[in-house]
Structure 1
Amino acid sequence: MAVLSAVSAELLSAYADSTGRVGPILFEVVFFAALYGAPALLAREAVRRAGWGWDSLLMIMLALAIAQACLIDQSLFSENYHGYDGWAVTYQATLIPVFGISASSAYNFILGHVIFSFGAPVALAEAWQPERAREGWLGRTGLIIATAAYVGAAMMIMSDPESRNASAHQLFASGALVIVCLVLTYLLGRRYRRKAKREVAESDPAPVVGAVFAVMLTLACLRNFAGENWSGFLLGVGVTVGAGALILIGARRPGWGIRCISAVALAFLISRGVFAFTYDPLIGTVAPIPKYVHNVIMLVIVLVAGWFALKRSKSVPPSGLTG
């Protein structure tokens, strides 16, 4: 799962000059597995051991996303992070001066981390082991290794001068938001456990997994084409709210379970992988053949992971609100 986080969060989008280069890619797999995969595992471990559901899991992932973009790499507060093409233009196009952030960047970075760095890999990994989807996976050694990997990778990022863009007020506000998300994680968890005790099995027809996948893929693709301006920001937010509302409606149906959750995850990952074919890396120069070979390999990894998730979870009965 940690490797899938690295692929999903960074390599699938093929935006860096490491695209198509075997050595740097292997390093990035290890590094981003530590930076994203390790905290995703730890978040999942905390939520599943507490007996909470996906609402709590997404909220703790939101806390991790804010921490990553605002406290660790502080990219959300940078006017021109690492010289990526188009960064400064995007920053200025939707700048909110009072906060010193770009609305478009905040939407893309934070939501991107929630979906691609943490949420989608966990959803597929749980579907690989559906019989253990609500159990903890890590022992004491695993918890120590995951924690050390995350702290080590985060410290490497924070030591980079490019990751020192936030003011004291921005750091304080970001830290406060992380704490609020963690408190909400706990409150949602308590609510989930109370509701789970009252759940009664019903016989309504299950949602069609194929339909869930098709609708989410359409919305994910539409989100990809939102521009880096205020109209694009509003379109992206609208699509995201719509997708979230549909997921909540589906989750209230008795048939909603691990297969539907993995179908949502796979739809967003495929959309990201396909969209990566339409642009060149945002920094450096990469020849066409290595670039497209990279795109194909990363997309195949996602397709195989998704196929295995849907196949393994096919015989598992529906499981409550959002699992």
Structure 2
Amino acid sequence: MAVGLRPDPAGPLVGEFLLGNTPISDLGSLFLFIPLYGCGALLVREAARRAGRGWPTMLLLGAAYGLFEEGPVDQMLWNPHYGGVPFGLVYAGTHVPLLGTSVALLQDVVSMHMIWSICVPIALVEAFGREPRRPWLGRLGLGVTGLVFAAGSLGLAALQYAYNDEFMASAGQWTVGAVLIVGLIAAAFLVGRSPGPRSPAAAPAPWRAGCAAFALTSAYWAGQTLLRDHVPDWITAFVWLLLAAVASVLGLRWSRGRGWGAGHRVAVAVGALLTYVWAGFVQATDSGAPAAVALTGNAVFGAGALVLAAAAVRSVRRRRTGEPG
């Protein structure tokens, strides 16, 4: 039987605190993030699992969530001075007037939220369930989660509007954003109706899949910190596309291989999680908090991430499930 309401704090803990965007001294803001991140991850998973879909659907819904949060909710996609940061200047090289925003900024938003805000927390929490493909929420829980998500989104949008000098995007920017979000949601339910034929080739060992996830996500973050200031912006955007293509090809190929199962999925999630552990120390010094506070917080959250990763791997090993997903 599906359960009622299960808040998921993993989303904001990974997406904000582990990455170093929010210092440990602001841990109280976790309750502000849970309605958006936590309920958002729950709704993405419930929508996919109730429709009989798997990870391709959740990835696309995670991308739609990212555009929703950074578009209609806080308008970072469109505000050239969001949070006092000159986003318009930082991302000027790949700005496309027709989109009303920057291609590189879209790539960053989709990457961070699709992978780390939504899919990594879902995969890690699913590792502890005996029936990971079944819904977590009952009808009441689903309704309450939806209401909390809507209220949290509206509340955060109002706060961001006031904090960012009442910035409001143009009608054209809102329209393009809505089209992209609706398009991703539609695509999410057009894919994954059937898992496709299984390949006779064996899937790689889970640890190899995890290492590949760590390498690809680390390459993305290394590009953010090392390439962006030294190469043309469109080169960085192309590198992102190349990494996304490699990840997609490997993911589709390996997930159809013989023996692919829960152990592989949690290994991929752990690989991506470990990238945030090291990237968080790089990001922490830009959070505005004193360096000692920022780095102490990342040490604490990094240690917590390692404990969670080890527990998830241990839980999956105990079950030894191999269902498609």
TM-score relative to the length of structure 1: 0.87
- Residue aligned with 1:318, SS: coil
SS in 1 for 2:184: helix
Contact 1:257 1:319 survives alignment (8 Å): yes
Deviation, structure 1 residue 95: 1.9
Deviations 1:207-244 (A, max 9, x none): 21111111221121111111332222222221222122
> What's the % identity of the aligned pairs?
24
Q: 1:22-33 maps to which residues of 2 (within 5 A)?
A: 24-27=26-29, 29-33=30-34
Identify which of 251, 254, 263 aligns with 2:267. 263
SS state at 2:40 partner: helix
Aligned-residue offset at 1:281: 3.9
Q: Tell me the residue number matched to 2:257.
A: 253
**What 5-or-longer segments of structure 2 have no aligned partner?**
1-6
* One-letter identity of the residue aligned with 2:95: L
The change in CA–CA distance for 1:292 and 1:187 in structure 2 (over 3 A counts) is same
Tell me how many residue pairs correspond in the alignment: 307
Tell me how far 1:189 sits from its aligned partner: 4.3
Deviation per residue, 1:105-126 (Å, 9 max, x gap): 1110122111111111001111
- 1:70 aligned onto 2:76: no
Mapping of residues 1-323 of structure 1, within 5 Å: 2-16=8-22, 19-21=23-25, 24-27=26-29, 29-84=30-85, 87-129=87-129, 131-159=130-158, 160-161=160-161, 162=164, 164-192=167-195, 195=196, 205-226=202-223, 227-228=227-228, 229-284=233-288, 286-314=289-317, 315-320=319-324, 323=325
Provide the alpha-carbon RMSD of the alignment: 2.1
Deviations along 1:38-97, one digit per CA (max 9) or x if unpaired, are 02101211221222211122222222222222222121111121113x634322232223
Distance in 1 between residues matched to 2:60 and 2:240, nearest whole Å: 20
Displacement of 1:203: 7.6
CA distance in 2, matches of 1:269, 1:111: 13
Letter in 1 for 2:66: A
SS in 1 for 2:191: helix
Q: Which residue of 1 aligns with 2:3?
A: none
Query: 1:239 and 1:260 mapped to 2: Cα distance?
Result: 20
Counterpart-to-counterpart distance in 2, 1:173 and 1:58 = 21
1:90, 1:105 within 8 Å by CA — same for their partners in 2? Answer: no
Residues 223, 240 of structure 1: 8 Å contact kept: no
Deviation at 1:204, TM superposition (A): 5.3
Cα shift at 1:312: 0.9
**Unaligned 5+ residue runs, structure 1?**
none
Does the Cα contact within 8 Å between 1:73 and 1:164 map onto a contact in 2? no
How far off is 1:279 after superposition? 4.2
For residues 38 and 58 of structure 2, what CA distance do their matches in structure 1 show? 14
Residues of 2 paired with 1:170 and 1:290: CA distance? 38
TM-score by length of 2: 0.87
Partners of 1:164 and 1:313 lie apart in 2 by 47
* Separation in 2, partners of 1:170, 1:92: 16
Checking the alignment, whether the CA contact within 8 Å between 2:17 and 2:24 is kept in structure 1 is no
